[in-house]
Structure 1
Amino acid sequence: MRTTARISLCALALLAAGIAGCRDDDRLSYEKDAQEGDVPPIGVQSISVLKSLYHDRTTRITQEISIQGHIVANDTAGEFYKEIVVEDDTGGIVLSIDDERLYRTCRLFDFVTINCQGLALGSEGGTLLLGTFPTGDYCVDRIPAADVARYLAVTPAATRRQPLTLGFEEVAPRHISRYVRFDRVRLAEEATTWCDFDPETGDPVTTDRTLLDTASRQFVVRTDRRCDYARKPLPAGEGTLCGIVEYFNGRYRLRITNHEILFDRQ
């Protein structure tokens, strides 16, 4: 009996450890390069290191740290309102900027250095944003347009940044805010537009559509009401979509960037 009890207790302990391990694996994690007790990073760092500094709803960045990368999303086609997305080979980050025409100064695929000291990291449903420390209820405030030159130095890129080609099942936390490409996909909805419409005003509303792969796996595509093609019909047939991976309240979704859509029938 003692042996049986001992085995049962060991099994329970292993089961508990396994459950705890699953919880750690399943919860959203930002691939931390920095460990607690380490000297805070300074100088030019990767985006993954910057994201590892996040530890609360809003984290103020006090050290002299900067990141470098390519602009992979902006408001050229109206898809990212007052936002740009910057990525390097380790990750991506959304910058919140109070400017409605960012495409003029933060052009797609340009190279940018961001001086992060004095800014703040905040989480919106699981996607990290870089902005200023909030004065209200938001996780971060937008960087004022007048201060953009203080934090960002943009230079033309020599080459166009290429997206990561992924399958739906491959998307993981490290891909949040990354520029990706889905091939051989189709939209589940037919004979409708990218956005639905407000029944009272007739204006587009931000809308989720469903993307299907060849195995009928699903992935959400979110279209902002302000984008240039909000009123246009969805493409038919099979094709390719490029965009930015988002994460919101336990679910991944794609936001198309620069209307990068290539289908059999559009």
Structure 2
Amino acid sequence: MKPIANGCRLVLFGLLLTACDKATGLDYDALPESICTIAQLKLLCDGQSHTIADQTSVRGIVTANNRYGEFPGQLVIEDATGGIAIAADYPAADNAYPLGEEAVVYCNGLTLYDYGGKIELGKIGDGTTRIPREELGKHLRKSGKTPVRKPARAVRIDELTAAHVDTYVRIDGVHFVETGTWCDRDPETGRPRTSERTVADARGNRLTVRTAGSATYANDPLPKGSGSLCGIVDYFNGVYSLRVTGFEAYFAATPATPPTAYP
């Protein structure tokens, strides 16, 4: 697996100026005519953080949300150039940003920041990076198109690169190394806690699967046998991992059952 190279973050000013709407005022009343790609947006952050102060906007298909407690305080969107995680304080029970929905993100006042080697988007302030709930309507809008689930891209564990980070993938022919449940329990509270498991393929390649303790299936047993997982590729300090989205785990020995919505 190839690491994320710093060189990919060089700012291509000419390209950005032609591809992004650079109006000086803040206008959220209509969908922008000119929109950056996600890859171009990430290029704006060539350090630890970059606060956006113009009419930069992006749009992408929602590939991960917190409907099943899998991505607390986050959305992930993806376009043809890549994906990005957005820190946002939204009510999961409302399913306001369902999987397959096309979302438009008005980035004025938001901050791109480097988190363990990958670029995320949020709003810095008061000890949090999440876009406050009262500001969601200003920064996150639906495009109005009919939601269409994006098919997961098949990839092998040993093929993962920086281009796959925060994108929706399918990994076939893997089995869980451990037995037990998706998440461990906190010894003090007894509640599930965010946990890591490992899957391996027939070639001996291994990948960490990270599951939030808030996932509605946190106490369910891990699938048995060989199968496929669909999820978002994560990256932190040189290590790739997978976060399952929509409880998409397809194992013949353990048929998938529809998950319970959160909370």
TM range (shorter): 0.7 to 0.9
- Larger CA deviation: 155-164 vs 195-204: 155-164
For residue 226 of structure 2, the aligned residue among 225, 238, 241 is 238
Aligned partner of 1:197: which letter? R
Whole-Å separation in 2 of the counterparts to 1:102 and 1:49? 32
**Residues 1-266 of structure 1 correspond to what in structure 2 (within 5 A)?**
26-29=3-6, 31-32=8-9, 34-35=11-12, 40=17, 42-43=20-21, 44-101=35-92, 104-136=95-127, 141-154=129-142, 155-190=144-179, 192-266=180-254
2:109, 2:242 → 1: CA distance? Answer: 30
**Which deviations, in whole Å up to 9, do the C-alpha atoms of 1:4-32 show, x marking residues without a partner?**
xxxxxxxxxxxxxxxxxxxxx85534734
Q: d(CA) in 1 for partners of 2:242 and 2:117?
A: 14
Contact 1:48 1:90 in 2 (8 A): yes
Q: Is the CA contact 1:32–1:48 (under 8 Å) kept in the aligned structure 2?
A: no
**C-alpha separation between the residues in 2 aligned to 1:126 and 1:103?**
32
Q: Distance in 1 between matches of 2:15 and 2:68?
A: 42
Q: Structure 1: how far apart are the matches of 2:97 and 2:147?
A: 15
Q: Deviations over 1:69-124 (max 9, x none)?
A: 10000011110001110000111011111123265211111011111121110122
TM-score norm. by structure 2 comes to 0.84
C-alpha RMSD of the superposition:
2.0
For 1:14, the equivalent position in structure 2 comes to: none
- Looking at structure 2, the residues matched to 167 and 221 of structure 1 have their Cα atoms a distance apart, in angstroms, of 14
Matched residues, number: 238
**CA distance in 2: counterparts of 1:35 and 1:168, whole angstroms:** 31
- In structure 2, stretches of 5+ residues that fail to align are 22-34, 255-263
Secondary structure, counterpart of 1:253 in structure 2:
strand
Bigger Rg, structure 1 or 2: 1
Deviations 1:34-63 (A, max 9, x none): 436876452201100000001222210122
Q: TM-score normalised to the size of structure 1?
A: 0.83
Q: State whether residues 229 and 248 of structure 2, in contact with CA within 8 Å, keep that contact through their aligned partners in structure 1.
A: yes
Structure 2 distance, partners of 1:262, 1:26, is: 28
Q: Percent identity?
A: 35
Q: How far apart are the structure 2 equivalents of 1:240 and 1:257? A: 13
User: Quick one: distance in 1 between partners of 2:16 and 2:155?
Assistant: 35
Report the Cα distance in structure 1 between the residues aligned to 2:62 and 2:84, rounded to whole angstroms: 10
- Once residues 168 and 7 of structure 2 are traced to their aligned partners in structure 1, the CA distance between those partners, rounded to angstroms, is 17
Contact preservation (8 Å) 1:33, 1:49: no
1:58–1:133 Cα contact (<8 Å) kept: no
Go from structure 1 to structure 2 and tell me whether the alpha carbon gap of 1:102 and 1:69 turns closer, same or farther (over 3 Å shift).
farther
Asked if the contact 1:33/1:52 (under 8 Å) is kept, the reply is yes
Query: Which one is further off, 47-56 or 192-201?
Result: 192-201
Q: After the TM superposition, which segments of 4 or more aligned residues of structure 1 sit over 2 Å from their partners? A: 25-43, 133-136, 155-159
Cα separation, 2, equivalents of 1:255 and 1:86: 14
> Secondary structure in 2 aligned to 1:128?
strand
Bigger drift between 114-123 and 236-245 goes to 114-123
